[in-house]
Chains A and B, each alone.
Chain A
Amino acid sequence: MNIDLYGFGPALAAGTLMTVKLALCALALGLVLGLLGALAKTSPYKPLQWLGGFYSTLVRGVPELLWVLLIYFGTVSLMNRLGEALNMPGLELNAFAAGVIALGLCFGAYATEVFRGAILAIPKGHREAGLALGLSKGRIFSKLILPQMWRIALPGLGNLFMILMKDTALVSVIGLEEIMRHSQIAVTVSKQPFTFYMVAAFIYLGLTIIAMTGMHFMEKRAARGFARANQ
């Protein structure tokens, strides 16, 4: 195998950067959506419960690739109309934005269940203690529930992030220049498909290892002060 990758090394590095950017942006959107979904699902109001359930069931039942395609191609007419209304002709969703929305949506649907489990795992007494201290509902959530949820939800979110990072490859289908897209371009020039897709595979493996290491330290930090029962 050629070490200089036929001059495509810098392009692949740029693709890796794009993949990381895409994954982190989708993660941010997904965390917000997941938290909102979990709050909706655990709220005492029926319509909100129904909405949260509808979101997580619908999004989890349809392939990620279909969401990417639907959001990229399906919003063209919508964005056109919006562009006319805002007097900005030619308004469109670029591949990066569509990818962030689609992957964030899918991450959020799974994160909804992870966060919901975390909320349910916090003893009822903690909330009641907050009420007894005269804290408002919002403060109970932000000061009591949310910090404790983090430790419980972290392993589940870590798994979801690994899945998300691999799903970023799907966005190459709508032309975003991340690792896969750059590999495809390199293949058309060099006629060495196996070499370049193998390089792409090893970049993803490297990213996974980095994410795994990061998760390990975050979990260790989040679990400080908690003794493990089985050790």
Chain B
Amino acid sequence: MNWEVIIKWLPRLAQGATLTLELVAIAVIAGLILAIPLGIARSSRHWYVRAVPFSYIFFFRGTPLLVQLFLVYYGLAQFDAVRSSALWPYLRDPFWCTVLTMTLHTAAYIAEILRGALQAIPRGEIEAARALGMSKAKALFYIMLPRAARIGLPAYSNEVILMLKASALASTVTLLELTGMARTIIARTYLPVEIFFAAGLFYLLISFLLVNGFKLLERWLRVDACQGR
């Protein structure tokens, strides 16, 4: 193992890691926002409300992220309408394509988590809210969603870690995030073991920090106090 090379290239890898963090942060936050309406619609009692989120979730969970990424980055250019639209400067850019794909992808998974959480809320609590005279919307916003957030948080933290690992795919559309940076450095140094090892350590470190951050968040939201009844 050639440690000097690792130390020499650490700053560049750290630079790649910041891009990785940027991608993951935008994707999981935007994905969460998109997932809230999707998840609520997915747990609806009416089949025509459920149908659209169901097919969305089925497509994004049933196909590999790599295919979705290529569909957005390479595929959209097939249509002249896209190329002449005002969005083209963004859809041409690998960064925005990756962010868009990761957001759409993770939103499907988060919506499914949210559906599970909404259905896990004890019926009595929703009935209690309605009995107090809350409207359906009020019960949803003040009782069900805060409750579902606590039930779904552990699964959401898993999803964030999965997205951290999925962000490595961005290297296939020329983005220089952690894996992309490692591949670029290897093309120069011909030392795959050392550089991939260092990149792996970065991923381990980031996921360790994320796991502990979510533990703190769970304590702050008092997740354990809401469960085990």
Chain A hits for B11, CB < 8 A = none
In contact, A66 and B67 (Cβ under 8 angstroms): no
Residue of B63, B192, B203, B208 near A201 (CB, 8 A) is: B63
A10 to chain B, nearest CB (A): 20
Interface mask (A185-223 → B, CB under 8 Å = 1, otherwise 0): 001000111110110110011001100000000000000
Residue of A63, A172, A194 near B76 (CB, 8 A) is: A194
Binds A, one of B42-50, B132-140, B144-152, B162-170: B162-170
In contact, A70 and B183 (Cβ under 8 angstroms): no
Contacts A63-B165, A65-B171, A66-B196 known; A208 to B78 CB distance under 8 Å? no
Which chain A residues in 102-156 approach chain B with CB under 8 Å? none
In contact, A73 and B192 (Cβ under 8 angstroms): yes
In contact, B63 and A205 (Cβ under 8 angstroms): yes
In contact, B207 and A61 (Cβ under 8 angstroms): yes
In contact, A66 and B77 (Cβ under 8 angstroms): no
In contact, A62 and B186 (Cβ under 8 angstroms): no
Give B contacts to A, CB under 8 Å: 58-59, 62-68, 70-71, 74-79, 164-169, 171-172, 179, 182-183, 186, 192-193, 196-197, 199-200, 203-204, 207-208
In contact, A201 and B68 (Cβ under 8 angstroms): yes
CA separation between A193 and B74, bound complex, in Å?
6
Q: Does A28 contact B (CB under 8 A)?
A: no
Chain B hits for A195, CB < 8 A = 78
Chain A hits for B71, CB < 8 A = 193-194, 197-198, 201
CA separation between A117 and B206, bound complex, in Å?
26
- Closest 5 A/B residue pairs (Cβ): A194-B75, A63-B168, A169-B64, A193-B74, A63-B165
The B interface, classified by DSSP as helix, strand, loop or mixed, is helix
Residue of A70, A198, A201 near B193 (CB, 8 A) is: A70
CA separation between A225 and B74, bound complex, in Å?
51
Interface mask (A55-82 → B, CB under 8 Å = 1, otherwise 0): 0001001111110011001101100000
The A interface, classified by DSSP as helix, strand, loop or mixed, is helix
Chain B hits for A73, CB < 8 A = 186, 192, 196
In contact, B62 and A208 (Cβ under 8 angstroms): yes
Residue of A62, A180, A208 near B200 (CB, 8 A) is: A62
Residue of A63, A69, A197, A208 near B192 (CB, 8 A) is: A69
Q: Does A92 contact B (CB under 8 A)?
A: no
In contact, A61 and B192 (Cβ under 8 angstroms): no
Chain A hits for B164, CB < 8 A = 63
CA separation between A200 and B76, bound complex, in Å?
15
In contact, A61 and B204 (Cβ under 8 angstroms): yes
Chain B residue nearest to A187 in the complex (CB): B74
In contact, A63 and B183 (Cβ under 8 angstroms): no
Chain A hits for B79, CB < 8 A = 194
Chain A hits for B196, CB < 8 A = 66, 69-70, 73-74
In contact, B183 and A69 (Cβ under 8 angstroms): yes
A116 to chain B, nearest CB (A): 17
CA separation between A208 and B58, bound complex, in Å?
10
Q: Does A166 contact B (CB under 8 A)?
A: yes
B166 to chain A, nearest CB (A): 7
In contact, A166 and B64 (Cβ under 8 angstroms): yes
B154 to chain A, nearest CB (A): 14
